[in-house]
Structure 1
């Protein structure tokens, strides 16, 4: 029996993605360190991980500036990726919780970029 209230979409931790100047190089490093295989690779993005497990992603950023941590003049670059079953319902749910949709969406049919309430970007995807 339907109550008319939509169910909450299921979320699962998918990956953390690091911005960098060379995704293949950084993926080789972490792949060697953690013993993780490449799960997906393109010129601008590499994902390390095993099927059914959370992974590590590496995203090419053209004007990447190395973090100066602990000096805050150039903050760390990373964002969370969440796996979802349905992009539309997941996005609607997250927006209802206070996320904001930025105008730029690089590949909205594969993943969506949203901003958390503090402005940090994060992604939702059906790829994981």
Structure 2
């Protein structure tokens, strides 16, 4: 068995795909459209975004609408990556449990994701 896709629910798949394309440099999948958009990652792994009517974003840190999934991204510089992602439209929750080790941000649909130091990944 091989993992081929990770798909996130959202209200606007093209917008969320564009956000992550800018953030990661991953190319848009050829079959992307209005109700589903995707990015092609390493080894053909698809990061997909599907339209859901009446979508409610996760509420963090509370669990009234649980996060259900979050993504982690390794970066070389936490501050620089955070600044760039905030400029792209990411949000930054008040609760930051990682201290200097990682940062929690949210994408345009409210999904939380974490930035971790790439060198911490190797140790």
TM-score normalized by structure 1? 0.49
**1:44 to 2:35 alignment:** yes
Specify every segment of 5 or more residues in structure 2 that has no aligned partner in the other structure, as ranges: 70-123
8 Å CA contact 2:41, 2:47 repeated in 1: no
| Larger proportion of strand | 1
Name the SS for the 1:38 alignment partner. coil
Q: Distance in 2 between matches of 1:55 and 1:38?
A: 10
**Residue aligning to 1:30:** 20
- Structure 1 residue 52 displacement after superposition: 3.8
- Structure 1 residue 48 displacement after superposition: 0.4
**What is the RMSD computed on CA atoms of the aligned residues?**
2.0
Bigger CA radius of gyration:
1
Q: Structure 1 runs of 4+ off > 4 angstroms?
A: none
**1:21 to 2:20 alignment:** no
Distance 1:49 1:73, change over 3 A: same
| Larger proportion of helix | 2
Name the SS for the 1:13 alignment partner. coil
For residues 70-97 of structure 1, the C-alpha deviation after alignment (integer angstroms, 9 at most, x for no partner) is 210011255xxxxxxxxxxxxxxxxxxx
**1:76 to 2:67 alignment:** yes
Q: Distance in 1 between matches of 2:68 and 2:18?
A: 18
Q: Distance in 1 between matches of 2:34 and 2:50?
A: 9
Q: How many residues align?
A: 69
